[in-house]
Amino acid sequence: MHPRLHLGASGGPSTSPLDVSRTVVAVVAALALIAGGLLWANAPVLPLPADAKADLVVVDKAARRLSLYSNGAPIRSYPVSLRRAPVGAKVRDGDHRTPEGRYLIDRHNPRSSFHLALHVSYPSADDFARAQAAGYSPGNEIMVHGMRNGLGWLGRAHLLVDWTSGCVAVTNAEMDQIYPTVSDGTPIEFRP
């Protein structure tokens, strides 16, 4: 017989008090880990000044960071998710890359499938001409957005995996700050 296996009155194995206490400790530890993860993922975002207005948005793809600037001074930076292999400029529809270069935020979309969205003016005339010359569609619908509607509870946990199709994703709380701070017509610069 195995040294830790005890037979109960019916002749089957029974659980020792030590096994029960180990199970309870494991369950409590797992619940604490989950609770801690949810607290980290949804920690409050420091507020921006009430009058903050960005005149430039910079996305540093390698650093996976979006930064807001006003008159050359940084206002705030946010970690972002892109796509698993964002190296290189967007060339065509379906390549899942984020563009590189300078564009504009050309419209706000409060009814997006993701929590708020800022539409990027990609493709430019040059992007369109390059893609067309190669026989491709350049793609479109590049956005800065929050989480897919209904998944906002993931919070910062979305940063654990690059998951977009070429867009730039932040938490919903961060998007709540970015959305009113960036006006239509604001330049957005995507750096490698």
> In whole angstroms, what separates CA 48 from the centre of its chain?
20
CATH class of 56-191: mainly beta
Length of the chain, in residues: 192
Give the mean pLDDT of the chain: 87
Structure tokens at 33: 């880990």
Instruction: Sketch the domain layout of the chain as residue ranges.
Output: 6-41, 56-191
Q: Which is higher by pLDDT, 21 or 118? A: 118
Lowest mean pLDDT among 85-94, 159-168, 174-183: 85-94
Task: Give the burial string for 122-143 (b: 16+ CB within 10 Å, else e).
Answer: bbeeebeebbeeeeeebbeebb
Q: What is the pLDDT of residues 95-154, one digit of tens each?
A: 888 999 999 999 999 999 999 999 999 999 999 998 899 999 998 899 999 999 999 999
- What's the start-to-end Cα distance of the chain, in Å? 64
Residue 22 confidence (pLDDT)? 81
Handedness of CA 65, 68, 69, 73 (dihedral sign): negative
Mean pLDDT over 12-29 rounds to 71
Question: How far is residue 28 from each of residues 35, 36, 37, 42, 176, measured CA to CA in Å?
Answer: 10, 12, 14, 21, 34
